[in-house]
Amino acid sequence: MSVHDFIRARFVRTAYAEPVDVTGKTMIVTGASPGSLGFETARTLASWGASVVITTRSNPDAAADALRARLQYAEACQRVEGQALDLSYSDSVASFVRWFVENHGDRLDVLINNAGIHLDLLSRWTEPRLTDDGFEIQWRTNYLGSAHLTHLLLPLLEKTGQATGDARVVNVVSHLHVKGSNDDLFGRTRPYDSWAAYGNSKLALMHMTRELQRRYAEESHVQAYCLHPGSVFTRVADKGLEGTGMIEKARNALSPVEAFFLKTPEEGAQTQIHCATYPRLAGGLYYEACHPAEAGKDVEDTEVAERLWTETEAWVAT
């Protein structure tokens, strides 16, 4: 081990997913542009034998080509497809699901809701930025978009779960869910803060995880998991610091230092890979470093989870 690797290992502790043969399984990984957690997740899953559909908001073919270039075997390359998906637009979600059902309608073993955004990292916004349909942008993308996709794909997940005994939904959340509040999930109760808004979106995904598990695990064999990947050096923060001038430039200049103290995307992807593949893994839990972890107290409120599920289901139906 080099001195560089030794020093870095003292700061960045990573648990690695155990390799699992997932040959024959079909998986979706959202938000899989090169350099992302989703990209590294998909690379590992394809190398372990899965057929993987990756999504990006733009240039999905280029992302799929980049992924194939990272794979060692030709047969693994043939198991990778890329499709466009923008979670902030209902039409994009519906279009992706139609494509998937037409092309892979016989099964879906794992849906990994990895895509997400974290904006306004300096908390400069005093009012929320809204999407075209009137939702706070992080809530709309991180939670509603992922929930919409999940609900539309549930029939296929159920079909696969009942046939194979194991289908899964994996939601990538964050330890920042503790900045969210159950009181805010049904209407803003606090002055707007972008970090709290981000926390609300991840808290809602954790509620969705537990409610999915409660409703679908026993009869349909659809297990649900949520996880914090750790502090990872990806390009997510680039968009969060857009337009900040000197601060943005300073971060770009210091990015090698930042990267030294943070996990690489490959390291950060390990827990979602674990949740997607490890046999007989307990569902309905929050994972960190490939192990169950303690979540914020708001996650324990089953009445909130049930109400959120019901209201989201009604919204999807419209």
Active site residues: 198
Phi and psi torsions of 29, nearest 5° = -125, 115
- Provide CB contacts within 8 A for 203, sequence distance 6+: 173, 177, 180, 181, 182, 185, 296, 298, 299
Q: What is the dihedral of CA 187, 287, 153, 100, to 10 degrees?
A: 120
Across the chain, the runs of DSSP E, i.e. the strands, are 26-29, 51-56, 80-84, 110-113, 167-172, 222-228, 286-288, 291-292
The encoded tokens of residue 254 equal 């210091």
**Measuring CA to CA, how many Å separate 239 from each of 64, 192, 232, 260, 283?**
22, 19, 15, 21, 33
Token pair 């297990």 is at which residue?
Answer: 223
Cβ–Cβ < 8 Å for 231, 262: yes
Could you give the CA distance from residue 45 to residue 111 in angstroms, rounded to a whole number? 12
Nearest to 88 by CA among 53, 121, 115, 54: 115
- Provide CB contacts within 8 A for 122, sequence distance 6+: 241, 244, 247
**Host H or E run for residue 209:** helix 194-220
Cβ–Cβ < 8 Å for 237, 175: no
